[in-house]
Structure 1
């Protein structure tokens, strides 16, 4: 069977590292996952240098600024990476006759209707969402056969995790060590999805040469507070620490970009096409937290 080459940008980040790991489950994939120190997507010449290697293959474009706050603090750099970098990668795909998978954020939507229909018109509430949508439009205009997957908010990557799970665990752990017995977490609702699950599912779609727009998320949904309780339970803290549910507004006063209070994606096309390989958020979170990276939290807290 002929091998299929896949170039992963942002290959050391949350999603990119999962793509590199999960690709080993597809024997005919030949993957080159490059971190920012190996491929700076804002450098057009550096991007185009990969044209010969990726000829007729796939590009999984994970390189991006991934935080709403980070984009708000440095909008010029955010635009250069998200829009400029994506434009460079799209030109690479065009030159090399490669297919492009663009992982999109659910934050391109205002979530006025939930579940968010697959034909919903994007209405970003933040600069991050606006830049991601602008980049998506470049991909769609340049590469009509691209695969654009709008993904739910995710966790994964252990030390690379810049999202809720990665940030809340050390904060809660330190609070517990300092003698706090409870912690306030907001009631904003989302679909916490493991990057390993997203990566495996997306690679399966590459294997099937899928194209067009899809939405992808875990089975079920949870508030941030519910997710925090599951973390407390998984790490064995129940007898020492509890979670108080508060309104999202009570804990989001310093946010630099607005987010929907509830964001749930419809994944009907993925289901109809027989390609929905997602698990429940609880099952995937429990599996993720069994990684040795979390042992210091688990061991220290159970003494």
Structure 2
């Protein structure tokens, strides 16, 4: 199978290349393809003649999207429209990587694939617009929502927590934002299995379980030999950000599990990642 990957230089893009290594890959990093350049998108996809395009390129800086919503929509919505239209022209299926932030966070149990999106910030709205283009322009598509992504090479929550812990010696972390940590290697492996099924639709690929940012930080510190560092729980209201935060957005993998595609619990994935980086203690 010929698989073209946009955003191939990102942490998920790199994991996808490893997971798809048995396929013929066309990896395109940001320097190779600007998804806001519609003509370039069409040239790249038509030239590559892929069977499947995995569209992982995105503006994922949530606060950056809040500061510049127009750019967020140019990249995440109109860029996705261009990729989807090029897939139609090339006869390729599309995997669109989306996010838990398409939900408003008011539900009190994990979100299913069938729950109606209602994004509350520019990042979520731009990604939801991308979902709209994919589902309305294509017949053969997979929308894969993930959340709180971490993996080698990324500037994610784990790295930020460890850096702040070492620099400051104490942390204040929000306790009322709850979600689903997701290891790039596990998400990529799930996507690799998914495209073999041709079971098109919407999927939630996150590591099993949920936690608050505070619980997540405490576990990170404990597993890296920093349990002595004090962590004070604070509310979202005490941690102002440019972007409005949906407070409760764990995702439940119902549709993937029906196909036999499941991801391990997030504490196991966290341990595997910390061991890979050489940070695991004990």
Structure 2 length as normaliser, TM-score? 0.93
> Deviations for 1:265-292, whole angstroms, at most 9, x for unmatched residues?
222222122222x011111111111234
2:240 counterpart of 1:249:
no
Given candidates 244, 252, 271, the residue that maps to 1:286 is 271
> Quick check: 2:26–2:48 contact (8 Å CA) kept in 1?
no
Partner of 1:186: 174
Q: How far has the Cα of 1:65 moved from its partner?
A: 0.4
In the TM superposition, residue 45 of structure 1 has moved relative to its aligned partner by 2.1
Distance 2:271 2:112 in 1: 29
| Distance in 2, Cα, partners of 1:152 & 1:80 | 22
1:83/1:132 contact within 8 Å kept? yes
Mapping of residues 154-193 of structure 1, within 5 Å: 154-158=149-153, 160-161=154-155, 163-176=156-169, 182-187=170-175, 188-193=177-182
**1:94 aligned partner:** 88
- CA–CA distance in 2 between the matches of 1:115 and 1:72? 25
Q: Secondary structure at the match of 2:53?
A: strand
Partner of 1:179: none
In 1, distance between residues paired with 2:194 and 2:229? 41
Distance in 1 (alpha carbons) for counterparts of 2:50 and 2:71: 31
Q: Does 1:137 align with 2:132?
A: yes
Listed as ranges, the gaps of 5+ residues in structure 1 are 177-181
Q: Is the 8 A contact 1:54 1:98 kept in 2?
A: no
Residues 10-34 of structure 1 deviation map (CA, whole Å, 9 limit, x = unaligned): 111121121112222xx2x111221
CA contact (8 A) 1:42 1:80 kept: yes
* Cα distance between partner residues in 1 of 2:148 and 2:103: 12
Aligned residues: 280
| 1:151–1:215 CA contact under 8 A, matched in 2 | yes
Corresponding residue for 2:9?
A: 12
1:112-145 C-alpha deviation (Å, 9 max, x unpaired):
2222132211100101111111111011111022
The answer as to whether partners of 1:20 and 1:31 remain within 8 angstroms in 2 is yes
Tell me whether 1:45 sits opposite 2:33 in the alignment.
no
- Return the match for 1:274 from 257, 260, 271: 260
1:28-47 deviation per Cα after TM superposition (whole angstroms, max 9, x unaligned): x1112211111111112221
SS of equivalent residue, structure 1 residue 148: strand
What's the offset of the Cα at 1:56?
5.1
Q: 2:20 aligns with which of 12, 17, 23?
A: 23
Give the conservation status (yes or no) of the 8 Å contact 1:99–1:145. Answer: yes
Partner residue of 1:224 out of 194, 209, 213: 213
CA RMSD of aligned residues (A): 1.9
Structure 2: runs of 5 or more not aligned = none
